[in-house]
Amino acid sequence: MVTVLFRSDASPSIGTGHLMRSLALAQAWIDDGATVHWLASDLLPPSRDRLSAEGINLEQFEDPVGEEEDSDKTLRFANSVNADWVVLDGYAFGALHQAMLKRAGRHVLFVDDNGHAAEYPADIVLNQNMHASRALYEGKSAGALLLLGPHYALLRREFRRAPRSAKTIPRVARNILVTLGGGGNAPLAGKIVDALRDLAPARGLQVKLIAGGAGLLGEGDRGGTGDWLSFSRYTEDMLSAMVWADLAISAAGTTACELMMLGVPSLLIVAADNQRPIADRLHEMGIGENLGPADTLDVGTISRAVEELAVDPSRRRGMSERGHAAIDGEGAPRVVRAMRAGLLRLRPARVDDMRVLWEWANDPEARAVSFSPAAIPWEDHARWFKTHLGDAGYRILIAETREAVPVGTVRFERDGEDAVISVSVDRSSRREGYGRWLIRLGSLEILRSPGVYRIRAYIKPDNAASIRAFESAGFRYHAPAAVRGQAALLYTFPEDRP
């Protein structure tokens, strides 16, 4: 059984976005049969209750003094539960957390937003945002597997199981959801209420305000709201609130992904600096309208934006369709598959591997993308295998699951200070994401060999699956090439060696 440890907090100052998206991944792991532990130094009571309701093993400790103490506590707890994976999600975590855990032999997934860490020695870096790009991690990722973009958006179980149907767009939007994140923002909530105080009764709007950890509106702020406004600190059923909404006013955090998946047209507010790239990108793509920073936002801007969007069904329909198409809700299971594949183990090939290597090499799909597409006779394969098994300039590694099931092979042939890589994956395992891990784990292993400084991969230009796998593993396009008189693309790792 796989054991996964999550290290994430939730508080009025940092909000609940980090915790809630990590909870989505925890749920996916629980559904996959894993044991899940959670380590936190700060938790809002509703967050604590939510983790407990999931059956997650929760451990809290007093606020640490600095990253070094936090890193040490995280490592000691990871060792105590023998965690296979440690998931770090929060701006208080950086290169030190990752490095200490990696040195101790733990697999690390680092959930990121804007490339804030000095380095990324983690096994996986996950950035689910629309603005995520490799440029954020150039020169800092040390070969980490990068899972980038909304394809990997972490949505909780209730959203993953929601029907994938297009949202109905009424001629006039009357149901308005206001959600400001788990940390809440009382001044911003007051501005929004003031902006809607006259507009809502005049236009027949119904407003649901989920205020978050900052608390409910005071009696003075509630004056004149009549029956058009309902409000609460939290909701146990955010899905229903979003399905109800014709339009949302939301902080541009994790909630934006949930709104996108459900196709809810949104007015986005930058409630924290780290949300600025999210709001900017969604605005550029026509998925949401960026109203700007919360501290400079005025009542008139909010009121005008709501009134204009509420009576523009064409614009709302475009927002809804683009958002709905960008996120399918399956990001968390995809990340689980990538993490599970990352538990592969490599071992040197043995004599009894000769037949399975021959079968993998002669698979029709493998031959089709090879520079030598003809089937390989058994006698030729046996001669090749016996010659190379003991060759110091050649390494044949077998990848096995935790249950010792062989799923593929990665091979390296020395060429001076370079090594040339080739990969085969068992047909039944190709949809499990093993290819990129074979490439990554094998490459990091061979680069530890004395005198090897770079790895070269030659790929057919039309082999899109192989290109994706090598790029995911950290290889970068280097130059056009030719292999046996055929056009090829040369990819290298690391990419900065001439």
Question: Domain-by-domain residue ranges, the chain?
Answer: 3-158, 164-323, 342-493
Q: Do domains 3-158 and 164-323 have the same CATH topology?
A: yes
What is the arithmetic mean of pLDDT over 285-299? 95
Q: How far apart are CA 449 and CA 372, in angstroms?
A: 28
pLDDT tens, 249-265?
999 988 999 999 999 99
Confidence of residue 498 (pLDDT cuts 50, 70, 90): very low
What is the arithmetic mean of pLDDT over 224-240? 81
Residue 237 predicted with pLDDT over 90: no
Residue 402 predicted with pLDDT over 90: no
Confidence of residue 11 (pLDDT cuts 50, 70, 90): confident
pLDDT tens, 482-497?
999 999 999 999 865 4
In sequence order, which residues have a C-beta less than 8 Å from that of residue 404 and are 6 or more positions away? none
CATH says 342-493 is which class?
alpha beta
Amino acid at 282: L
The structure tokens 């109203």 sit at 291
Confidence of residue 159 (pLDDT cuts 50, 70, 90): very high
CATH says 3-158 is which class?
alpha beta
Q: How far apart are CA 405 and CA 198, in angstroms?
A: 67
Confidence of residue 220 (pLDDT cuts 50, 70, 90): very low
Confidence of residue 430 (pLDDT cuts 50, 70, 90): confident
| Order of strands, sheet of 394-400, starting from the edge strand that comes earlier in the sequence | 345-348, 394-400, 406-415, 418-425, 454-459, 486-493, 476-483
Residue 218 predicted with pLDDT over 60: no
pTM for this model (two decimals): 0.86
In sequence order, which residues have a C-beta less than 8 Å from that of residue 219 and are 6 or more positions away? none
Output phi, psi for 228, to 5 deg: -85, -10
Output phi, psi for 36, to 5 deg: -120, 130
Q: How far apart are CA 160 and CA 149, in angstroms?
A: 17
Amino acid at 93: F
Per CATH, which fold does 164-323 belong to?
Rossmann fold (3.40.50)
Residue 387 predicted with pLDDT over 70: yes
What is the arithmetic mean of pLDDT over 279-303? 95
pLDDT tens, 23-49?
999 999 999 999 999 999 988 888 899
- Quick one: DSSP state of residue 485? T
Tokens of 293: 């920073």
Q: How far apart are CA 133 and CA 324, in angstroms?
A: 21
